Every structure is written in structure tokens, then in C-alpha cells.
């Protein structure tokens, strides 16, 4: 399966600290995407990184992709209470996107 698997499953950090989440997958991909989901709501697309890219930034987000290791990481810098949510990686093959199980991030005040 090309499904991404996030690590850790849950992460609790102090406000202001950086949060790093990892994603591993098994097969070749066209791109890898990260999404955020607040409790009981729909997912929000954060960033897409293509298979020929190694790093991408968007505001306080930094995503890396290592296709040789079949892994990606999402770094959120200077975390805020509003960053509390579940974060999912999604791997895109030729015709569909498969989501992982997510990392639940909690930001402590």
C-alpha cells in the first residue's frame, strides 16, 4: 500500500516550541500533501510537495521530502494554541490520494 503512516500518533508541546511530525510511505508517489483537521471538521490542505522537490515552506510550515527513504516531515515553528489539531499526510499516486492515520498535536499554554 502507498498509505502514509504518521509518527508520532500524538504530540504535546509547549506553546512557542517547534513541532515535528513524520510520515513514511511504501510505494512511489507523484506528490505528498499535508492536511490539518480541527475536531469534527473537514480537512484543510496545508502544503503539497512534488516528488522532485526536497523542501518547501509556507509561513511557519516547513515540509521536507526524501524519496530515497520514502519519508516526509512537517515542521511547525513557534507553535500557537490554534495549531492544536490532527495532522495528516496524504500520498498521491497516479489516480488517487491515500491518507495516513494522523498525528494529534496538542499545544499547551
CA gap 39, 33 in Å, rounded: 20
Query: Hey, which residues does 74 pair with through a beta bridge?
Result: 21, 63
**What is the CB-side half-sphere exposure of residue 82 using CA atoms within 13 A?**
1
Q: Which of 19, 21, 23, 43 binds other proteins (CB under 8 A)?
A: 43
Is 81 among the residues that bind other proteins (CB under 8 A)?
no
Nearer to other proteins, 65 or 79 (CB): 65
Under the binding rule (CB under 8 A), the answer on residue 93 touching other proteins is yes
Longest dimension (CA), the chain: 42
CA dist., res. 24 & res. 70, Å (int): 6
> Does position 92 bind other proteins by CB under 8 A?
yes
Residue span binding other proteins (CB under 8 A) among the ranges 20-28, 31-39, 55-63, 68-76 = 31-39
Contact track, other proteins, 2-21, x by CB under 8 A: -x------------------
Amino acid at each position: 500500500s502507498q498509505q502514509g503512516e504518521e509518527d508520532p500518533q500524538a504530540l504535546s508541546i509547549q506553546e512557542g516550541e517547534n513541532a515535528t511530525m513524520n510520515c513514511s510511505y511504501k510505494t512511489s508517489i507523484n506528490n505528498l500533501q499535508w492536511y490539518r483537521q480541527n475536531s469534527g471538521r473537514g480537512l484543510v490542505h496545508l502544503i503539497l510537495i512534488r516528488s522532485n522537490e526536497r523542501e518547501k515552506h509556507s509561513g511557519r510550515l516547513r515540509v521536507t521530502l526524501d524519496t530515497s527513504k520514502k519519508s516526509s516531515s512537517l515542521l511547525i515553528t513557534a507553535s500557537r494554541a490554534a495549531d492544536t489539531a490532527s495532522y495528516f499526510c496524504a500520498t498521491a499516486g497516479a489516480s488517487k490520494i491515500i491518507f495516513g492515520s494522523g498525528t494529534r498535536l496538542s499545544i499547551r499554554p
